[in-house]
Amino acid sequence: MKLVIIDYGAGNIKSIQFAFKRLGINAVLSNNIDEIKAADKIIFPGVGEASSAMKMLQESGLDKIIPTLKQPVLGICLGMQLMCNSSEEGTTKGLGIFNVNVKRFSNAVKVPQMGWNTISNLKSDLFTGIKEKEFMYLVHSFYAENCKESIAKTAYEIEYASALQKDNFYGVQFHPEKSGIEGEKILKNFLELKTNN
Amino acid sequence: MLTKRIIPCLDIKNGRTVKGVNFVNLIDAGDPVVLAKQYAELGADELVFLDISATLEGRKTMLEMVLKVAEQVNIPFTVGGGISSIADVDLLLKSGADKVSINSSAIKRPELVNELADKFGNQCVVVAIDAKQIDGEWIVHLAGGTIATKLNLFDWAKEVEKRGAGEILFTSMNNDGTKAGFANEALAKLSTELNIPIIASGGAGTVQHFIDTFKIGKSDAALAASVFHFGEIPILELKQELKENNIPVRL
């Protein structure tokens, strides 16, 4: 099993690497296109601001490569948001893998949403063994709207898509690497997904 | 529904927890990594590590500790104490910290809040504020509460929110160490006037104090040290009682 975490300069990827280490998997950090293409499974992380993260992807040419990947790809937090059509954050055009737009929470609620909230309407192998209304840790100001590709929903101000899937592409708004034992189960499920490489 | 967070705070000096901890079945209560793991298993929602080392050597040890915590603990944690530059934060985040907490350095140079929010995102910038009510006015204090500033708590909190703070950790010096309850009036005012999460700190003594700070103080999270370290309030029981009082918690 070769697991690559795409390292394009966005955010704290150490915790993701450690989370896989706790599962006994050595995740390789890489921005090398050949190495990414050759991996069995790919993590697309991201913490920070959408437009600058997108710019870093463009500079390395990864924006063209990621949508063509055939193996399971898991976008986490901003990684998931960048896989959508667009984001209101810095009016950023995304990778367009998920046919949905990313919006900002209004000031009717505290922004960012910070803490543990539930996921429900679970519809993917990613959530095998995870019960409805399980708690996950979230930190975000922007969200993907509910859509056809939603595989989990969370309510904060409105009900939004807290996880997405299209073919081999998966995205989660929450941080499985920081969501205790249940979060680790989701990472383990991702590792066990079939590879079409 | 987003739940209210319970956050144990550990004071760290030269890589070891200080102030003492009194958990049963803990082989080494001074080891922050062992403690952090225990807290994560007991249901803590987040952890805060406060570095009170005064020496450079102590700070280096802190980085090694952060790396070990990140390696072994599967819930988020914040690191505070002595952070005054982008480089400091970069090292901590690269070692696996999820958030950093800044206090005196933000008062000395408020632009630091903007710089950190721009570079790392506001979600990882916690601004800690120590304040004391003097003649009815809440005055912000520096350097662990030893020096009074001219800043008013609410004005300062709004300023750091505008500059990009993702969260406020408010410690009432009037309440800290008293075990007589949190400063709920000031907390409710902060929570109403600001649009970022507010962590209550200082004064926790009983379960009722936590109920009150969530209901009356409108706090988003509550931080405490000794009541958790000495097992006076087991986290699981606390969260069960909060739930019975209709406060949303992760159980």
Q: What is the pLDDT of residue B26?
A: 58
Is A3-192 in CATH node 3.40.50.880? Answer: yes
Measure CB to CB from residue B75 to each of A49, A113, A178 and give the nearest one.
A178
Answer whether residue B20 shows pLDDT above 60.
Answer: no
CB–CB of B74 and A115 under 8 A? no
Decide if A14 and B220 are in contact by the 8 Å CB cutoff: no
Summarised one tens digit per residue, pLDDT across range B151-206 is 999 999 999 999 999 999 999 999 988 899 999 999 999 999 999 999 999 999 99
Residue of A nearest to B122 (CA): A48
> How many angstroms separate the CA atoms of B242 and B217, rounded?
14
Query: A184 contacts in B (CB within 8 Å)?
Result: 74
**What does pLDDT average to over chain B?**
92
What's chain B's length in residues? 251
pLDDT band per the 50, 70, 90 thresholds, residue B24:
low
Helix (DSSP H) and strand (DSSP E) numbers for chain B: 10, 11
Residue B210 CA to residue B204 CA, distance in Å, equals: 7
**Alpha carbon distance A79, B222 (integer Å):** 30
* Inter-chain Cβ pairs, chain A and chain B, closer than 8 A: 94
Residue of A14, A113, A120 to mutate, interface with B, max B Cβ within 10 Å: A14
CB neighbours of residue B143 within 10 Å: 11
Q: Identify whether A112 is preceded by a cis peptide bond (ω within 30 of 0).
A: yes
Q: Are strands A73-76 and A92-93 parallel, antiparallel or unpaired?
A: unpaired
- Distant-in-sequence, close-in-space partners of B145: CB < 8 Å, separation ≥ 6: B130, B132, B171, B173, B176
Query: Which DSSP category does B84 fall into?
Result: -
Q: By C-alpha distance, which of A82, A78, A100, A94 is closest to A161?
A: A100
- What is the rounded distance in angstroms from the CA atom of residue A172 to the CA atom of residue A192? 17
**In this complex, do B1 and A18 lie within 8 Å of one another by their Cβ atoms?**
no
- Sorted by where each begins, the domain ranges of chain A are 3-192
Comparing CB atoms, the residue among B74, B98, B166 nearest residue A112 is B166
In the predicted model, is pLDDT for residue B114 greater than 90?
yes
Enumerate the residues of chain B whose CB falls inside 8 A of the CB of residue A111: 195-196
**Residue-wise pLDDT tens digits, B54-102:** 777 888 889 999 999 999 999 999 999 989 999 999 999 989 999 999 9
